Structure 1
Amino acid sequence: MKNIILSGCLMAASIFMFSSCSDFLTEDPKGKLTPDNFYSNQNEIDMAVNALYFKVQSYQCNSNPMILHCQGDDVTSTTGSNKAAYLSADAYETPTDTKGLEDGWRRMYQIILVANDIINNASKAGLSQENLNQAMGQAYYWRAYSYFTLVRLFGPLPMNLNNEPDNNATPLTSVENVYKQILDDLENAEKCNLPAKYDKSPQAINGQNLYVSQQAVKATLAAVYMSMAGYPLNKTEYYAEAAKKAKEVIDGVNNGTYNHGLLEKWEEVYSYGNNHHFETLLGIDYNTTTGGWSDFDSQFSSCHQLSGLKGWGDFIPERKFWLSYPDGPRKDAVFAKQLLTSQGVLVDWWATQDGEPYNGKNAVVSDYRPMFVAFTVNDGPAAAPYDYTKPFWGGMCINKRHQLIRYSEVLLWYAESAARANMDITEAKSALKQVRERAYADKSKVSEVDNMNAEQLAEAAYMEHGYEVGGYVLAMVTRRSDEFRMNRLKENYDYRSGSQSLVLVPKGTLTSSMDSQGKAFTYTLKEDLVLSENMPVTASWNNESSIYHNYPPKEVEKNPNLKR
Structure 2
Amino acid sequence: MKKDILYSTKTIVMLLLMVAVFSCQSLEEVPEGISTPQNFYATTAQCEAAYAGSMNALFFTWGGYQGIPSFPDGQFEGTTLDFGSTSFNELWTWHYKAIANINAVLKAVKSGSLAGNSQEAIDGVVAQGRFLRAFNYFTLVRLYGKIPYITEDTPDVVLTPLTAASRLEISTVYDLLQADLTFAMDHLGDFDAATPGKPNKWVAKGYLAKVYLTRATAPLSQTDYYAKARDMADDVITKGPYKLLPAFSDVFKTANNRSTEIMFAFHTTSETPYMPGNSWAPSEMDGWSGGPVKIYWASNIYPEQPRKHNYLLLDFTSDIYDPAAPLINWSKSADGVPYIGKYNMPNLTYDQQVGGGDAGIEMKLLRFADILLIYAEAANMAAGAPTQLAVDRLNMIIDRANAGTGKEPKATLAMSKLDFDQKVIDERSYELCFENDRYFDVLRKRILQKVNLPDNAQGYDENDYLLPIPALDARAIGQNPGFE
- How high is the TM-score relative to the length of structure 1? 0.71
Q: Is 2:327 the partner of 1:365?
A: no
SS of equivalent residue, structure 1 residue 403: strand
**Conserved in 2, the CA contact under 8 Å of 1:329 and 1:438?**
no
- In structure 1, give the amino acid aligned to 2:54: K
Distance 1:58 1:266 in 2: 31
Q: Is 2:435 the partner of 1:472?
A: yes
Give the CA deviation at 1:328: 2.2
Do the aligned partners of residues 234 and 60 (structure 1) sit closer, same or farther apart at CA in structure 2, a change above 3 Å counting?
Answer: same
Distance 2:285 2:245 in 1: 30
Give the CA deviation at 1:320: 1.7
Partner of 1:338: 315
Count of matched residue pairs: 433
- In structure 2, give the amino acid aligned to 1:72: D
1:33-48 to structure 2, matched below 5 A, reads 33-40=35-42, 42=43, 45-48=44-47
Give the CA deviation at 1:319: 1.1
Partner of 1:185: 180
Partner of 2:24: none
Partner of 1:312: 288
Partner of 2:244: 262
Aligned with residue 210 of structure 1, among 197, 200, 207: 197
Q: Is 2:157 the partner of 1:166?
A: yes
Distance 2:249 2:212 in 1: 30
**Conserved in 2, the CA contact under 8 Å of 1:425 and 1:454?**
no
**Conserved in 2, the CA contact under 8 Å of 1:304 and 1:374?**
no
Do the aligned partners of residues 268 and 239 (structure 1) sit closer, same or farther apart at CA in structure 2, a change above 3 Å counting?
Answer: same
How many percent identity over aligned positions? Answer: 22
1:417-436 to structure 2, matched below 5 A, reads 417-422=378-383, 425-436=387-398
Partner of 1:142: 132
Partner of 2:6: none
1:9-88 to structure 2, matched below 5 A, reads 33-40=35-42, 42=43, 45-61=44-60, 62=62, 64=64, 68-77=69-78
SS of equivalent residue, structure 2 residue 71: helix
Question: CA offsets, 1:43-87, max 9 Å, x none?
Answer: xx311221211221331334555665521011135xxxxxxxxxx
Aligned with residue 103 of structure 1, among 74, 90, 101: 90
**Conserved in 1, the CA contact under 8 Å of 2:57 and 2:95?**
no
Q: Decide which structure has greater helix share.
A: 2
- In structure 2, give the amino acid aligned to 1:159: Y
Partner of 1:527: none
SS of equivalent residue, structure 1 residue 282: strand
Give the CA deviation at 1:318: 0.8
**Conserved in 2, the CA contact under 8 Å of 1:319 and 1:370?**
yes
Give the CA deviation at 1:444: 7.1
**Conserved in 2, the CA contact under 8 Å of 1:416 and 1:459?**
no
Distance 2:411 2:219 in 1: 32
Distance 1:410 1:108 in 2: 24
Q: Is 2:274 the partner of 1:281?
A: no
Question: CA offsets, 1:376-425, max 9 Å, x none?
Answer: 246xxxxxx3489x993252533322211111110111001100111671
Give the CA deviation at 1:183: 0.8
Distance 2:352 2:156 in 1: 53
Question: CA offsets, 1:93-113, max 9 Å, x none?
Answer: 2348x4x63321111112211
Partner of 1:221: 208
Question: CA offsets, 1:305-338, max 9 Å, x none?
Answer: 2356543333221112212212223112101241
1:313-462 to structure 2, matched below 5 A, reads 313-323=289-299, 324-342=301-319, 344-351=325-332, 364-366=333-335, 368-377=336-345, 385-386=347-348, 392-393=353-354, 395=356, 397-422=358-383, 425-440=387-402, 441-443=404-406, 445=408, 448-462=411-425
Distance 2:69 2:146 in 1: 16
SS of equivalent residue, structure 2 residue 449: helix
**Conserved in 1, the CA contact under 8 Å of 2:171 and 2:220?**
yes
Q: Is 2:463 the partner of 1:541?
A: no
Do the aligned partners of residues 300 and 466 (structure 1) sit closer, same or farther apart at CA in structure 2, a change above 3 Å counting?
Answer: farther
Partner of 2:192: 198
**Conserved in 1, the CA contact under 8 Å of 2:144 and 2:480?**
no
Give the CA deviation at 1:36: 3.6
Partner of 1:511: none
Distance 2:408 2:68 in 1: 33
Distance 1:177 1:448 in 2: 36
Do the aligned partners of residues 555 and 300 (structure 1) sit closer, same or farther apart at CA in structure 2, a change above 3 Å counting?
Answer: farther
Question: CA offsets, 1:326-359, max 9 Å, x none?
Answer: 22231121012412233644211111xxxxxxxx
Question: CA offsets, 1:102-154, max 9 Å, x none?
Answer: 32111111221122123233252132233223211211111001000111112
1:465-544 to structure 2, matched below 5 A, reads 465-473=428-436, 478-497=437-456, 538=458, 540-544=459-463
**Conserved in 1, the CA contact under 8 Å of 2:468 and 2:479?**
no
Do the aligned partners of residues 542 and 190 (structure 1) sit closer, same or farther apart at CA in structure 2, a change above 3 Å counting?
Answer: same
Aligned with residue 151 of structure 1, among 141, 150, 155: 141
Distance 2:352 2:189 in 1: 42
Q: Is 2:81 the partner of 1:92?
A: yes
SS of equivalent residue, structure 1 residue 495: coil
Question: CA offsets, 1:472-500, max 9 Å, x none?
Answer: 23xxxx11111111011121344234xxx
Give the CA deviation at 1:371: 1.4
**Conserved in 2, the CA contact under 8 Å of 1:302 and 1:396?**
no
**Conserved in 1, the CA contact under 8 Å of 2:141 and 2:173?**
yes
SS of equivalent residue, structure 1 residue 316: coil
Greater mean deviation of Cα atoms: 267-276 or 167-176:
167-176
Distance 2:428 2:314 in 1: 21
- In structure 2, give the amino acid aligned to 1:315: G
1:234-273 to structure 2, matched below 5 A, reads 234-252=221-239, 258-273=240-255
Distance 1:169 1:462 in 2: 38
Distance 2:306 2:200 in 1: 30
**Conserved in 1, the CA contact under 8 Å of 2:363 and 2:435?**
no
Give the CA deviation at 1:188: 1.1
Q: Which protein has the larger Cα radius of gyration, Structure 1 or Structure 2?
A: 2
Question: CA offsets, 1:433-486, max 9 Å, x none?
Answer: 11111011433746552432333222211211111111223xxxx111111110
Distance 1:158 1:111 in 2: 14
- In structure 2, give the amino acid aligned to 1:369: V
Question: CA offsets, 1:199-227, max 9 Å, x none?
Answer: 54xxx1xxxx3211111111101111111
Partner of 1:20: none
Q: Is 2:121 the partner of 1:131?
A: yes
RMSD: 2.7
